[in-house]
Amino acid sequence: MLGGLLLGVLGVGVLTAGAEGGGTATDRLWLVVSALAWAVGSLIARHGPRPASAVESTAMQLAAGGAVVLLASGLGGELGRWDPGATSWRGALAIGFLVVGGTALGFGAYTWLLRVTTPAAVGTYAFVNPVVALLLAWVAGDGALTGRVLLGAAIVVAAVGLTWAPAGGAFRTRAAALRRAQEA
């Protein structure tokens, strides 16, 4: 599983290396570090205390994450530079999609998966997100599927397969045990 997680970090690195419009090298490094931190956090979260309700757990984690991002944005001076009036309708719709689809639904699914499969397998979520974002950008006409993007995506898919392969049986077993517990 560790090999799959490290391969996933490599895949994110390939996806972001030399990315046009992808920010500075430091920005890209932080993206790779954040993917690794998400995977490690998944390992820690699985074994730590958490609320019985997946919805409550999701809400607590989103609130804590939002507070940290708001604080970092304020300290970095980003809040003072943001002009809500300059946000286009397309941008506002994209933000709405990210809030509802990418955050509420996606994080809810992540929290549920954390309860029914291995943390390492769930940690691959952080590697898949950049691939999904690049595919959505391509579908929207704002991105190109270059050789580097396809190579990075292939590495991420291999990492996910490597990480999930030993978890398949565990996922089915834990999911069945969860259903039996809910029925009782």
DSSP-assigned letters across all residues of 140-151? TTS----HHHHH
pTM listed for this prediction: 0.57
C-alpha–C-alpha distance, residues 33 and 25, integer Å? 12
pLDDT at 169 over 60: no
Q: To the nearest whole number, what is the mean pLDDT of the chain?
A: 75
Express each pLDDT in 48-59 by its tens digit. 677 777 778 778
pLDDT score, position 30: 73
Express each pLDDT in 96-126 by its tens digit. 887 887 777 777 777 777 777 776 677 777 7
Asked if 164 and 31 touch (Cβ cutoff 8 Å), the reply is: no
